[in-house]
Structures are given as C-alpha cells and as structure tokens.
A and B are shown apart, each in its own frame.
Chain A
Amino acid sequence: MQGKLQLSGRGVGCVRGGREVFSRLDFEATSGEVVAVVGRNGSGKTSLLRLIAGLLVPAGGTIVLEGGNPEMTLPEQCHYLGHRDALKPALTVAENLSFWADFLGGERADAAESLATVGLDHATHLPAGFLSAGQRRRLSLARLLTVRRPVWLLDEPTNALDVAGQDMFGSLMQQHLARGGMIIAATHGPLGVETRELRIGEMA
C-alpha cells in the first residue's frame, strides 16, 4: 500500500445544534494503529468520526492526512462504517456489495472472497432484506474488505455481532493494520485488538 500514514487533528472543534460538543481537540493516528475513541454518551464520538469523514464541517481546527495518496482528499481515503449499514433490502447480497465496489472504485479485492471471509457466501443470491442485523453488519464489513481504503472509521463496529463475528472482525482488523492501514473506532467495549485510547468530552 502506501508508506507511513499520519492522521493528525489540531484544535478541532465541533458544534452541533448550537451546542459545543468538544473544542480544541488534538489527536494523532499512524499506520498500524487502532485509536479507540471513548467517552460517555453524547461526548461526540460519532461526531468526531463524521468530522474526519468530511460528513460534518468542523467549527475550528484542521484534520490532515500525511503520506496518503496526494490526489485524493481525506474522506476519499476513508471507509466509514456508521450505525446504518447502507444496504438496500431489495437488492441481493452480491448486488449490494458489487454496487459499492463499482461506485467507490479504486483498488479492490475479490467480492466473493470477502463474502466468504465474513461468512455470507451461502447467501450471495438472497435479498439483503432477509438478513439479520448481525448479518447486515457482516455484509458492511465485506465492503471494507472489497474496497481498499487505508483509513477505517468505525462507529460501534461490534454492535450486533455475535462472539464468532467479533473474533472474525478482530482478525480482519489485524490484517488491515498489517497492510499499513489505520483504524479509528468509537466504542464502549473492547475491540479485540490492541488500542490506544482517545478520551473525549472530559473537559466539560
């Protein structure tokens, strides 16, 4: 993949609905590292991820990625796995995945293999509407595997996953880190990999 990546935020602030969620937040993340964003409910974990993904406009400060693809913006190099799975129930599992692979473009892996890795290869031809919450999450993880992006932004990624699913997800994260990727995850529980904590919402 790329060389050493360095994501750094300087003095980042976030205002939602007139309320200051956090301000002057500094953070760092490098290749091969998992940053676990922790804090109480409403401390702005999701907001921070959405700021990095370019889905929210920061109230101040800068977020830059060094060492990435110079032709691409930061959001274009990120995978965002939010609370919602971005799946269409009317399309089959394979159609959902291949749509995102085609639409997001860039370097990609074999879709069928990704589905096998997350344990959905038996269901490729079934409508995504038949899947349970945990299976939908697995299908979202298959998107992360199929389309290669160096930065993963994960919001409560282990929600809805069973124990086996969490183990599988842990090994996927290890592989991603070994390939030189980085992960920033908002979480309440353990992720199954070694993490560095970023505590937010303490100063309030």
Chain B
Amino acid sequence: MSLIDLANPTRFLALSARVLPWLAAATAILFAIGLYLSALAPDDYQQGATVKIMFIHVPNAWLSMFVWGVMSIASLGTLVWRHPLADVAAKAAAPIGAAFTFLALLTGSLWGRPMWGTYWEWDARLTSVLILFLMYLGLMALWRAVEDPSRAARAAAVLTLVGALNLPIIKFSVDWWNTLHQPASVMRMGGSTLDKSFLIPLLVMAVAFTLLFVTLHLAAMRNEILRRRVRSLQMMQASRVAFSGDVSTGSRQENASTGAA
C-alpha cells in the first residue's frame, strides 16, 4: 500500500472503510488494558492518587505535538508533492489536534490544582501547550474563513510549516521567560526517574491514544472527502440550468428529467 495507491480518493474511501472497524476495535482494547493497568498503578507518595492524571495527560501532550507533525508532513504533501489527499489529511487533523491539546491543558490544570492551589499557573510547559492550542485554533479559523477548500489548503499549509519551525523557538522563549521570572520550577512531571509500575501503563495509554488519533483522523478524512463531493455536486447542480435552453416554458420538467438521468 503506497501513497500512490491512496492518491485516488475513491480507493482511499474503500480501503479506510475496511480498516476503520479493526482500528476502532484495537483502540478500544488498548484503552481497556491501559485504563486497567493505570488503575492498578500505585499512588505516588507525594502526589497521592492525582498522579494517575498523568496517564491521560502525558499521552495527550505527546499527541498535541505529534498531530502538528502529521499536519506538517501533510502540508509538505500539499506544497511539494501536490498529493490530492494531503490537504484533506491536514484539514481533518487540525480539530483533532486541537481537542488533544485542549485535553492536555485541562488535565494539566487539574493535576496542578492540588500543588499550585490554583487551576492555572504560568508554568513553562503548560504555557507552551496553551500557545500551541491558540495556533491550532488559528489554523482552524483559517480553514473556516476561506470557503474554497483548495484555496485555503495552500495558505493553511504555509502556516502549518511556519508554525512547525516556530514551535521550538516559542518553546525556548517561554522557558527563558519563565525562568527569568520564576527561578524555581513549580512542577516536575515525573522526569526520567519514572518507575516501571508507572512506565508500562503510560506506554500502553500512549499507544492507545495514538491509535485513537489514527482512527479519528481516518474517519475525519472520510468525512472531509465526502463533504467535498457534496460541495462539487452542489456546484454542478447550480450550474446545470445556466446551459438549459428555454426557461419560461418548463424548467421544472427539464429539471426532473436531468435529475433522473
């Protein structure tokens, strides 16, 4: 199965329809295992049961960046290789990425609440994720603002790639800004000293969330392809009567006959 095979949207629709149920089932099974292992994991001696938020938070944070990476590759596909499905992939990924980023923010602030005493702290990591979230929203706004998807695709692709180049710079600046104001870091998230009893459930959950992304992404791409088909069918329907001859005598009958054909 190469990219060339998938270039044909019809073939993509057929293939993804066959793959999707399996993907969904695998996602569900992995989630069941992951959640079970997470529940079994011991409480942290400092953080108590709240540490288990990590099993949701970390995979979401990882996906928030991974999805931008997927969109960047898709944007290259749009700009360089002109792959017909590339901008569909990029467009479909944006809302999913935004949702994962939002979940990372939400779980992060819930996790921080017992430690900080507030739901939000301008912690360097959370702040970077917040900026990433804003960039996702901006990208979605761009897709929405331009009505013609193929015209929006190039603008969105450029913005995605610029964003990908900028993300490390933003991350670095935020870290610098944060340490400038707060010499002591407020929170250390596990770090490298993670115990095996945490590591295994975390890895399972990370894979489960990644599969969830792949499943949702494929489904969203199918929707986007179908939406574009509806759009082009509508445009064809709109242009039909422009060529039909006599309007005053019986456009209704004529429409009925062309509609049946």
Interface residues of A (CB under 8 A from B): 89-90, 116-123, 126-127, 129-132, 134-135, 162, 164-165, 167-168, 171
Contact = CB atoms under 8 A, between A and B. Distances in A.
B246 A126 contact: no
Q: Which of B147, B242, B259 has the most CB atoms of chain A within a 10 A radius of its CB?
A: B242
B190 interface: no
A132 B238 CA distance: 8
25 contacts: A89-B147, A117-B248, A119-B241, A119-B244, A119-B251, A120-B241, A121-B252, A121-B255, A122-B240, A122-B241, A122-B255, A123-B238, A126-B234, A126-B237, A127-B234, A130-B238, A131-B238, A132-B239, A132-B242, A135-B241, A162-B242, A164-B246, A167-B246, A167-B248, A168-B247
Nearest to B251: A119
Contacts of A171: 248
B80 interface: no
B235 interface: yes
Q: Which 3 A-B pairs have the closest CB atoms?
A: A119-B247, A130-B238, A122-B255
B247 A123 contact: no
Nearest to B235: A130
B13 to A, nearest CB: 24
Given A89-B147, A121-B255, A164 B238 contact: no
Nearest to A129: B147
B239 A164 contact: no
Contacts of A118: 247
Interface residues of B, number: 18
Nearest to B240: A122
Given A121-B255, A122-B255, A135 B248 contact: no
Contacts of A130: 234-235, 238-239
Given A126-B238, A162-B242, 11 more contacts: A116-B251, A116-B252, A119-B251, A121-B255, A122-B237, A122-B255, A123-B238, A123-B241, A130-B235, A135-B242, A167-B246
B245 interface: yes
Contacts, number: 52
A59 B247 CA distance: 43
Interface of B: 147, 234-235, 237-242, 244-248, 251-252, 255, 259
A195 to B, nearest CB: 21
B242 A134 contact: yes
Contacts of B147: 89-90, 129
A89 to B, nearest CB: 7
B248 A122 contact: no
Contacts of A119: 241, 244, 247, 251
A134 B147 CA distance: 21
Nearest to A163: B245
A121 B237 contact: no
Contacts of B247: 118-119, 164-165, 167-168
Nearest to B231: A130
Nearest to A120: B241
A168 B240 CA distance: 17
Contacts of B234: 126-127, 130
A80 to B, nearest CB: 24
Nearest to B232: A130
A133 to B, nearest CB: 10
Nearest to A132: B242
Nearest to A171: B248
B133 to A, nearest CB: 27
A15 to B, nearest CB: 41
Nearest to A131: B238
B252 to A, nearest CB: 6
Given A130-B234, A164-B245, A122 B251 contact: yes
A168 B239 CA distance: 18
A168 B248 contact: yes
Contacts of B238: 123, 126, 130-132, 135
Contacts of B241: 119-120, 122-123, 135
A122 B240 CA distance: 9
A102 to B, nearest CB: 24
A87 to B, nearest CB: 13
